[in-house]
Homo-oligomer: A and B are copies of this chain.
Amino acid sequence: MKEFTEEYLDRMRDIAAARNEEEARKELEEMHPADIAELYQSLDLKEAEFLYDLLDEDTRAEVLMELDEDDRRKLLADMPAMEIAKQVIDHLDSDEAVDLIQELDEEDREEILSHIDDMEQAGDILDLLKYDEDTAGGLMGTEMIVVNENWSMPECIKQMRMQAEEIDEIYYVYVVDDEERLKGILPLKTVITHPSVQKIKSVMEDDPVAVKADTPIDEVALDFEKYDLVVMPVVDSIGRLVGRITVDDVMDKVRESSERDYQLASGLSSDVDADDSIWAQTKARIPWLLIGVASGILASVILGGFESQLQAVSALALFIPLIGGTGGNVGVQSSAIIVQGLANGSLDVKEFGKQVWKEFRIGLLNASVISLVTFVYNIFFIPDDFAVTMSVTLSLFFVTMFATLLGTAIPLTFEKFKINPALATGPFIQITNDIIGILIYVYVSSWLLGMFAA
């Protein structure tokens, strides 16, 4: 990865300040659009714009797509719809064009679409816009080489040469029948190794892995990983080829969705990055913190009802952190395993009962170990308070069992009702188990202290 040193950035700043077009062009010429975008974002807006204006339209469109959404939005805000259509959209692949258009306001969309000269591209974009963003259709592009199964290889190669100019990267040729149904794929390697075959259907790979356009993105990603794919064809409900998905788009989605799960598990309520503003970060953090405060206050109210006992047996108060902390830790572990299993396909929500039963046994094991350790410690170090020892030990046992089952059942239930199970981890589980832990502790110790007092 290109790392821009401070010296390099200073040099570019000087070039931009001097408006030295020749020198700037020389620097930019050999740079990858992704690097230019990084440079753009490391410079002041004025410097960045000077460099951006020197690029040719193709590179400009590519750099634009590599920028952060905020920067892209700012750049586009200054461009008239006609310019966006002709200078940007026209140079993008259909899937990128659709991503860009989806970022715009509803009213701008129509206007931009009306300015696209290439009617075929405009039609493709309109078709793609109909698909749900979170499905294979929303991720696919339409740039691909399509040939008929009955063609000969020389015909196929001629067709490829004609279509190849419009398409940046080609790894496979798609083979369809007369009804446009996907019949096979032809790796470019086969094209080169079998240049004179009479019917390409005799050398194509039959039954290629393909997805229906309405397949959720998560499943598409798992398929890419399972079959080690680079590109995957997308078909409609009757098997006609409608597009293709490339691995780079899938990788972005995999990273996005695992980052999102991690953030949810860490109590961040919206997508933030370390380089986001203080304000954006506070907005993402404060909701769960306030829910935490509310639950802490609720805990104080519950404990308040128990205040006379806390006063009488003050040793009970000392173990409040132990009870709450253990419940939280146990619950977070269970929920993390469920959420991850659902995400990577190793767990199916249909196995609800089986998984709960399994977690029940794991909980039993953990609860026994934890209670035993605590019991032994208390017996040795606070031997004169047997009622407290028993209260803490028993409460820990129940809290661990309860937290395990809750940590399993809540994310599975969320999944069942099509709610993101990752919401049911981290602070949600932690806080729920804190409160339940304290309730269990209060009731168990009241009961035991009553028994021992009698």
* Interfacial residues, chain A to chain B (CB-CB below 8 A): 1, 30, 32, 34, 157, 160-161, 164-165, 167, 169-171, 187-189, 191-193, 206-207, 209, 219, 222-230, 246-248, 250-252, 254-255, 258-259, 261-263, 265-268, 272-275, 278, 281-282, 285-286, 288-290, 292-293, 295-297, 299-301, 303-304, 307, 310-311, 314-315, 317-326, 328-330, 332-333, 335-338, 340-342, 344-347, 355, 358, 361-362, 365-366, 369-370, 373-374, 377, 425-427, 430-431, 434, 438
Whether B225 contacts A366 by the Cβ 8 Å rule is no
Whether A337 contacts B281 by the Cβ 8 Å rule is yes
Q: Which of B226, B293, B304 is within 8 Å of A1, CB to CB?
A: B226
Whether B258 contacts A289 by the Cβ 8 Å rule is no
Whether A310 contacts B321 by the Cβ 8 Å rule is no
Whether B274 contacts A340 by the Cβ 8 Å rule is yes
Alpha-carbon gap, A426 to B429, bound state (A)? 13
B contact residues around A268 at 8 Å (CB): 333, 336-337
B contact residues around A223 at 8 Å (CB): 1
- Min Cβ gap A308→B in Å is 8
Tell whether A322 pairs with B340 under 8 Å between CB atoms, given A282-B362, A369-B290.
Answer: no
From A378, which residue of chain B is reached at the shortest CB distance? B297
Alpha-carbon gap, A206 to B223, bound state (A)? 33
- Min Cβ gap A363→B in Å is 10
Instruction: Name the residue in A226, A246, A288, A296 with the highest tally of chain B Cβ atoms < 10 Å from its Cβ.
Output: A296
Whether B32 contacts A227 by the Cβ 8 Å rule is yes
- Min Cβ gap A216→B in Å is 11
A-B contact pairs, 8 of them (CB 8 A): A34-B226, A169-B189, A191-B192, A267-B333, A273-B347, A275-B346, A317-B317, A332-B426
B contact residues around A315 at 8 Å (CB): 304, 307
Q: Which of B192, B254, B307, B310 is within 8 Å of A160, CB to CB?
A: B192
Whether A319 contacts B300 by the Cβ 8 Å rule is yes
- Min Cβ gap A281→B in Å is 5
B contact residues around A341 at 8 Å (CB): 273-275
B contact residues around A285 at 8 Å (CB): 330, 333, 362, 366
B contact residues around A328 at 8 Å (CB): 328, 430
Whether B266 contacts A332 by the Cβ 8 Å rule is yes
Alpha-carbon gap, A343 to B354, bound state (A)? 35
Whether B1 contacts A329 by the Cβ 8 Å rule is no
